[in-house]
């Protein structure tokens, strides 16, 4: 065999090896997208500037904010009627002082964040009587959920903070990232089967986070659903609202000023 031919064969084999290495490495770093099907659609108030959505058993709760330029909105917390889309208001905040944010139920108490006051409220789950207020160190309050023991909150950065529900001290802070790059704008949260789901503000994506290391492991891309909705309802705002109903193993998602709540069955 000619030396020139041997050289060319060697070059081709090296190039092929590099391509295979690149292909494997690229594929190993490709994030897995979650497939879903829409199994139901429910009415939702177009005056609801939603900030929090969660189930307690089969009871669906919603908390809302009230931007000053949207005079029809209110900062309320209550039980959502899936048949009508109306909130049975249990708590109403003074919109001149507070902008309501995320909420969750942990051990017979409802916890609610506010946006820029660095303050939260605690209510009795049966009577909705305010029993406590608390302060937090994050500059802003965004999303709120829990893992059965600790409150878990977002603040619009790449950080998720665990709070002790007894004294509201931060016990842990998780930096959320993908391939060592921080993921900012973490908003509404939901804790499901050992994982944290987070809506990325001003996108149509919900991420699934490993709470051990903060790595994003899967993405629920809802661009198609939102874009289709916007064709008919151009005045809607951002996707925001994630609730998981354990009895049906389905997710309920909606957004600010959206006319619908969608029930999704996630695949895989």
If pLDDT is split at 50, 70 and 90, which confidence band does 29 have? low
Cβ-proximal residues to 131 (8 Å cutoff; 6+ apart), any chain? 109, 122, 123, 124
- The mean predicted confidence, pLDDT, of the chain is 92
Mean pLDDT confidence for 146-157? 98
On whether the pTM is more than 0.85, the answer is yes
Task: Determine contact, residues 268/217, Cβ cutoff 8 Å.
Answer: no
Give CB contacts under 8 A, 24+ apart, made by 21-30. Answer: 29/179
Question: For the chain, what are the domain ranges?
Answer: 1-30, 33-266
Q: How far is CA 190 from the centre of its chain?
A: 6
pLDDT (0 to 100) of residue 30: 74
pLDDT digits (tens, 9 = 90+) for 62-105: 999 999 999 999 999 999 999 999 999 999 999 999 999 999 99
Of 215, 153, 210, 152, the residue nearest 183 (C-alpha): 215
pLDDT (0 to 100) of residue 34: 97
Q: Could you tell me the two tokens for 69?
A: 């330029």
**The CATH number of the domain covering residues in 33-266:** 2.130.10.10
Q: What is the CA radius of gyration of the chain?
A: 22
């Amino acid at each position: 065999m000619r030396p020139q031919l041997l050289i060319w064969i060697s070059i081709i084999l090296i190039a092929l090896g590099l391509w295979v290495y690149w292909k494997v490495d690229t594929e190993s770093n490709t994030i897995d997208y979650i497939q879903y099907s829409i199994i139901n659609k429910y009415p939702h108030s177009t005056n609801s500037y939603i900030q929090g959505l969660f189930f307690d058993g089969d009871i669906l709760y919603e908390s809302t904010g009230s931007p000053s330029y949207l005079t029809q909105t209110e900062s309320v917390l209550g039980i959502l009627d899936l048949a009508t889309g109306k909130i049975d208001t249990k708590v109403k905040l003074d919109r001149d002082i507070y902008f309501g944010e995320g909420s969750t139920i942990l051990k017979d108490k409802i916890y609610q964040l506010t946006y820029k006051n660095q303050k939260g409220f605690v209510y009795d789950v049966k009577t909705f009587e305010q029993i406590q207020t608390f302060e937090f160190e994050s500059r802003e309050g965004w999303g709120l959920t829990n893992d059965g023991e600790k409150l878990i909150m977002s603040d619009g950065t790449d950080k998720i903070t665990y709070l002790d529900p007894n004294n509201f001290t931060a016990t842990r802070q998780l930096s959320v990232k993908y391939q060592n790059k921080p993921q900012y704008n973490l908003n509404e949260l939901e804790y499901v089967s050992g994982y944290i789901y987070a809506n990325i503000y001003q996108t149509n994506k919900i991420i699934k986070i490993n709470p051990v290391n903060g790595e994003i492991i899967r993405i629920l891309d809802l661009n198609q659903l939102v874009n289709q909705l916007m064709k008919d309802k151009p005045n809607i705002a951002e996707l925001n609202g994630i609730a998981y109903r354990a009895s049906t193993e389905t997710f309920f998602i909606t957004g600010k000023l959206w006319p619908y709540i969608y029930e999704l069955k996630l695949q895989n």
